[in-house]
Amino acid sequence: MRVRLLFLLVIASAALFGQDPSSEDARERARAAKALADRGPSALPELRKLLQDPVYDVRLEAVKSIVQIGTRDSLDALIEATRDPDPEIQIRATDGLVDFYLPGYVRTGLTATLRKVGKTIKGRFTDVNDQVIPLHIEVRPDVIEALGKLASGGSTMDVRANAARAVGVLRGRAAVPYLLEAVRSKNSQVIYESLIALQKIQDPSAAPGISFLLRDLDDRVQIAAIETTGLLGNKQALPQLYDVLKTARNARVRRAALTAIAMLPDEASRPFYNQYINDKDELMRAAAAEGFGRLRNPADVEMLERAFEAEKRMNPRLSMAFALVLLGKTELSEFSPLRYLVNALNSASYHGVATPFLVEAARDTAVRRQLEVALKGGSKLEKIRLAGVLARSGDAQSIAHLEELTRDPDAEVGTEAAAALRVLRQRL
């Protein structure tokens, strides 16, 4: 009986832990690679050996298991896997690297959509590309280097586009030279993902390298290039943007052009703001108002106040409020422009518009002081989102206000305040 039990235990162990990773049978090595995931980090040395296997299926199961283990010790193995010649392995390694810093990414990234079509791998990029890691998270430089190399030289265009997206999610500033190589590819998806990554990284030195895309024939690429030019502050591109605005193929390009022009304050742009401040297109009105605000000419206050009071649509009204705050209307009274922006932080639809306005406006000391006051009596969402604003635009005086917020009775508010405090201290 004891011999029989021992035999059954051996059989069960073989089923539990998989096959021999050193077997001459490739199918058995692949099964072993898959089973090794259950052992966790202790299996990583064996899995790294399997990454060198001559058989694709074995290497594929190995990288899947490494991604599943997902610890800090997995990073070296995943960097190694980015150098595999197979596109699926490169994609899975890329998403695994991001997943370590942004848990859950593999369930929503390109990996989640991969499927075999004959001998090729197909995947579908999601339309939404707004994921970024929190500002206080630091990514290992060799991770960014590996992803940057894939963005400019991956084995397929899907690999390159996916790596460019990953660099953006991780805010990989060191990969900017690789992204500038990638935007010169002939593939629209690679170019687009690289431009969005540059928007997330926000390195102004990259701006001249994308100017040639301002007239790209692909609307999505052209719009992304226009937006990136504005966000990176490339004032030298203003003549090109004026020309794009005058000759835009459609309303989306026209809106992007005026919005970018409004981000690059120059009195030469005033005629365009005058032309569009009363336009029937609400987003053109919004862009024109932002442009007036950034010119910071006190003579525009009365006109913008009238426009703010008369405006019925939320987007342009937020832009007009922002402009008025830039022009010195920093009081927090019930119906003031600054209060209007703070109140919008409670909106599921518009907090994404109000937040960057407040980040920019809070670079002014008077606005920062008022937002610190607003923290004390704010709603839960106002406290959380204002903490994020101060993380990016606060100064040394803001530290005490965030420290106080870490003791908020609402645990979520306290947690977000602590994260904002870490970012602010790092930045200062």
Q: What's the confidence (pLDDT) of residue 128?
A: 77
Report the Cα–Cα distance between both ends of the chain, in Å, rounded.
71
- Find, among 171, 186, 81, 179, the residue nearest to 130 by Cα: 171
- Find, among 205, 193, 124, the residue nearest to 152 by Cα: 193
Q: CA-CA distance, 61 to 35, in Å (whole number)?
A: 9
Q: Six-digit token pair at 23?
A: 């077997």
pLDDT at 5 over 80: no
More confident residue, 119 or 36: 36
Q: CA-CA distance, 396 to 383, in Å (whole number)?
A: 18
Q: What's the confidence (pLDDT) of residue 3?
A: 44
pLDDT at 18 over 50: no
Q: What's the confidence (pLDDT) of residue 9?
A: 41
As a whole number, mean pLDDT of residues 259-277 equals 98
> Would you give the distance in Å from CA 195 to the centre of its chain?
11
At residue 118 the predicted structure's pLDDT band, cuts being 50, 70 and 90, is low
| Radius of gyration for the alpha carbons in the chain, expressed in angstroms and rounded | 26
At residue 122 the predicted structure's pLDDT band, cuts being 50, 70 and 90, is confident
Say if residues 323 and 289 touch (Cβ distance below 8 Å): yes
Q: What's the confidence (pLDDT) of residue 129?
A: 83
pLDDT at 7 over 90: no
Mean pLDDT of the chain: 93
Tens digits of residue pLDDT in 124-159: 888 778 899 988 899 999 999 999 999 999 999 999
At residue 247 the predicted structure's pLDDT band, cuts being 50, 70 and 90, is very high
Q: CA-CA distance, 297 to 272, in Å (whole number)?
A: 16
At residue 21 the predicted structure's pLDDT band, cuts being 50, 70 and 90, is confident
Q: Six-digit token pair at 12?
A: 């069960």
Q: Six-digit token pair at 354?
A: 């109000």
As a whole number, mean pLDDT of residues 290-295 equals 98
Tens digits of residue pLDDT in 47-90: 999 999 999 999 999 999 999 999 999 999 999 999 999 999 99
pLDDT at 15 over 80: no
pLDDT at 2 over 60: no
Helix runs in 207-248, H state only: 219-231, 238-247
For the chain, give the percent of residues with pLDDT over 90.
87
Q: Residue 246, class by beta-carbon neighbours within 10 Å (0-12 exposed, 13-18 middle, 19+ buried)? A: exposed
Q: CA-CA distance, 388 to 420, in Å (whole number)?
A: 6
Q: CA-CA distance, 395 to 282, in Å (whole number)?
A: 35
pLDDT at 14 over 60: no
- Find, among 318, 278, 313, 272, the residue nearest to 295 by Cα: 272
pLDDT at 230 over 80: yes
Sign of CA dihedral 158, 162, 163, 168: positive
- Find, among 326, 333, 317, the residue nearest to 360 by Cα: 326
Q: CA-CA distance, 288 to 277, in Å (whole number)?
A: 5
121 DSSP β-pair partners = 116
115 DSSP β-pair partners = 122
Sign of CA dihedral 276, 281, 285, 287: negative
Q: CA-CA distance, 103 to 97, in Å (whole number)?
A: 10
Say if residues 40 and 69 touch (Cβ distance below 8 Å): yes
pLDDT at 242 over 70: yes
* Residue owning tokens 């030298």: 236
pLDDT at 6 over 80: no
Q: What's the confidence (pLDDT) of residue 119?
A: 65
